[in-house]
Structure 1
Amino acid sequence: MSELEPLSPLEALELWLERLQSTRSEATIESYRYRMQSFVEWCDEEEIDNLNDLTSRDVFRYDSERRSEGLSPATLKTQLGTLKLFLEFCDRLEAVPEGLYEKVEVPTVELAERVNDELVRAERAEQILEDLELYDRASRRHAIFAIAWHCGCRLGGLRALDLEDCFFEPSDLDRLRHQDDIDHEALEEVDLPFLYFRHRPETDTPLKNKKQGERPVALSDDVASLIKSYIQVKRAKRSDGDRRPLFTTEKGDNARVSKSSIRRDIYILTQPCRYGTCPHNRDEENCEALKHGHEARCPSSRSPHPIRTGAITHMRDEGWPPEVVAERVNATPEVIRAHYDHPDPIRRMQSRRSFLNKEADT
């Protein structure tokens, strides 16, 4: 290997993410950036400002620190796996010692571990919604969590929603009557309420599956009522150019809430101590996970994706066919079965029993 080229961790990260733009979705790139944030911060704390100086012992120390922070096995696997990909890229740039990426030990995660550690169960989601109903009704966080759980949508889909994507009253349907891709006859019989997820990359709100990700998603009356209350009372009345975001910020240059803000809201809402007591015997007055920007350090906190996973699993436990769930959450039935369908055996047996009883009655 030739002489190493000096490169800071942050500069290398930006180069890597820029290189990935042609082959990865924006959501994937943002997830990589988020996962690598702790490594960049760690390098800064350790005064490693040149990746040339990074050694296998440093990688081992970082690995050990991450493992000691109480991260779930699945989270640890994704973060260290991303670090390995990043260091492999740096290896090709000749910015780190040759073969350093091979020193990263990515833990394996059994399916059961992944389910138990990441998936948000229905009971926990319902408890969070009950707490929000009691202590923070119709807040932005309440509306975000309710939609995420009820629709099983992705983070990017939540952020992309506008007021005009909310259909509560018959008059709202007028917004669809001029569109060529809408069956106008179906509009005469469509049931309300629903949300319409739209792909608008030109204004920085793409959906992961692009145009194929566009879909209307039915809402329950309770969730629709909550969203309407949020819009009428708690939503900051701001515009994003010609658009009116559903989820807005109180101040700042950007009216539309950022992905990082939504992610932080979810981390906060899934911390048990926010509306109860800490199950980890931590000093709640001095817990680092209660500090701004460190919410993910709570062992019980979860990112938006486990909300989606839990919602999908709950739909399947309730007896929804994979094909129906797939259309609602914008995934294929095969993906549902392979990556999201983690059944509780007792509930799944009950749903099969209900299905068989219905078949017997017909």
Structure 2
Amino acid sequence: MARNFTPEEAVERYLQERKHDLSDSTLYNYKSNLGLFTDWCSYQSHIQYIGDLDQFDVSDFKMYKRDDVADTTLYNAIMALRTFLKWCESKGLLEGLSENIMLPDRGRASRVEKLDPEAADALLEYMEKYEYATYQHVTIALMWDAGLRIGAVRSLDVEDYHSAEAYIELHHRPGPGEKEGLNKDRGTPLKNKEDSEREVNLHEWVVEIVDDYLNGRRNEITDKGRRPLLTTEKGRPARTTLRRHLRAMTRPCHYTNKCPVEGREVETCEATKKSNASDCPESVKPHSFRRGAITAWLNEGHSKELVSDRMDVSTDVLDEHYDQRTEEEKRQLRREMFEMGE
């Protein structure tokens, strides 16, 4: 009879068995990728043991992470998961799960990898005119100005916003999670937990939008005794809701009424429906939106150290994954900073 292992225990046993067969860097990558999965499992009330997993759980995890990470990161996470589940099957902990896992695309050349400043300006200009001070407008403004992750912007309470001093506070507030019977209440955790807590200054144009939202359009709703900054009619928006709205709002047809995709027409394109927004190759994932914001700050001449603190990303990760500037852009910036003229 097979033993019962929690997902965390199974991963730990798997890594222990493989540590002599893998290089340190490969072992680290496996640990990081499988950590994404065990973190997700800890908030699923029906998953207590690794044997509780089924195909729907793997699919749900894939969809949950899809808009949070780059395509390559998701591919590596699912590849590591499939290899781990094969090991679980060899130990009798699972049966016939790994062979049905479909790997996601490593990355499509046509997919937008970051939002350009010109597109961000056009989107914000559109929202200023047609969707002013909606919670979607506040979301876009905060994410672009502060480079916030979806989880961070969702975590904000009214008390975290300081209008007069023009800044926000970010706090790690996880829910009960597995500590209370694998409760699904995740609270509002931050990616790097307490290390992600910080105060972030805002530009005056963002403060004006948030002030007008609070004075008019915000639904006065509480969430377990807290007052969320962003609210729908039902309460604090779910992460999936924010992802869906971001994909819909960043479609060029939404804010320009034009489609830049060759072979598509606004009148006939299925992606013009909000429910199909992710099918638009020009719509932007939260991860790509954040990358665009970080790149824009770097292009404005801000130091990597300051951007690192503001955006909650190490300088090493910033260099490897977020700095999307071309060599020409870097050269032009150096020319401006050194006042070398044309």
Alignment TM-score, normalising by the size of structure 1 = 0.66
Match of 1:9 in 2: none
Q: Does 1:130 align with 2:125?
A: yes
The structural deviation recorded for 1:209 is 1.1
User: Which runs of structure 2 are paired with 1:298-313 in the superposition (5 Å)?
Assistant: 298-313=280-295
Deviations along 1:58-97, one digit per CA (max 9) or x if unpaired, are xxxxxxxxxxxxx9xx965455444433433432343676
The structural deviation recorded for 1:331 is 1.4
Q: Does 1:207 align with 2:190?
A: yes
The structural deviation recorded for 1:344 is 3.2
Long gaps (5+) in structure 2: 13-30, 42-53, 56-65, 177-186
Cα distance in structure 2, aligned partners of 1:298 and 1:223: 28
Q: Does 1:239 align with 2:222?
A: yes
The structural deviation recorded for 1:321 is 0.7
Amino acid of the residue matched to residue 194 of structure 1? Y
Cα distance in structure 2, aligned partners of 1:18 and 1:256: 33
- Alpha-carbon spacing, 1:27–1:307, altered in 2? closer, same or farther (3 Å): farther
Cα distance in structure 1, aligned partners of 2:271 and 2:188: 30
Deviates more, 1:194-203 or 1:96-105: 96-105
Q: Does 1:263 align with 2:236?
A: no
Q: Does structure 1 conserve the Cα–Cα contact (< 8 Å) formed by 2:115 and 2:288?
A: yes
Q: Does structure 2 conserve the Cα–Cα contact (< 8 Å) formed by 1:85 and 1:101?
A: no
Long gaps (5+) in structure 1: 6-14, 34-49, 52-70, 170-191
The structural deviation recorded for 1:18 is 11
Amino acid of the residue matched to residue 279 of structure 1? P
Instruction: Please tell me the root mean square deviation across aligned C-alpha atoms, in Å.
Output: 3.9
Deviates more, 1:198-207 or 1:279-288: 279-288
User: Which runs of structure 2 are paired with 1:26-41 in the superposition (5 Å)?
Assistant: 28-29=36-37
Aligned-pair identity (%)? 31
Q: Does structure 2 conserve the Cα–Cα contact (< 8 Å) formed by 1:16 and 1:89?
A: no
Counterpart selection for 1:296 from 278, 298, 302: 278
Cα distance in structure 1, aligned partners of 2:327 and 2:286: 25
User: Which runs of structure 2 are paired with 1:52-71 in the superposition (5 Å)?
Assistant: none
Match of 2:21 in 1: none
Amino acid of the residue matched to residue 148 of structure 1? M
User: Which runs of structure 2 are paired with 1:190-205 in the superposition (5 Å)?
Assistant: 192-202=165-175, 204-205=187-188
The structural deviation recorded for 1:322 is 0.6
Q: Residue 294 of structure 1 aligns to a residue in which SS? A: helix
Alignment TM-score, normalising by the size of structure 2 = 0.70
Cα distance in structure 2, aligned partners of 1:154 and 1:19: 30
Q: Does structure 1 conserve the Cα–Cα contact (< 8 Å) formed by 2:70 and 2:287?
A: no
Q: Does structure 1 conserve the Cα–Cα contact (< 8 Å) formed by 2:34 and 2:77?
A: no
Cα distance in structure 1, aligned partners of 2:8 and 2:298: 36
Counterpart selection for 1:277 from 248, 258, 276: 258
User: Which runs of structure 2 are paired with 1:3-14 in the superposition (5 Å)?
Assistant: none
The structural deviation recorded for 1:107 is 4.3
Match of 1:118 in 2: 113
- Equivalences, count: 281
Q: Does structure 1 conserve the Cα–Cα contact (< 8 Å) formed by 2:113 and 2:284?
A: yes
Counterpart selection for 2:333 from 345, 351, 358: 351
Match of 2:138 in 1: 143
Deviates more, 1:95-104 or 1:156-165: 95-104
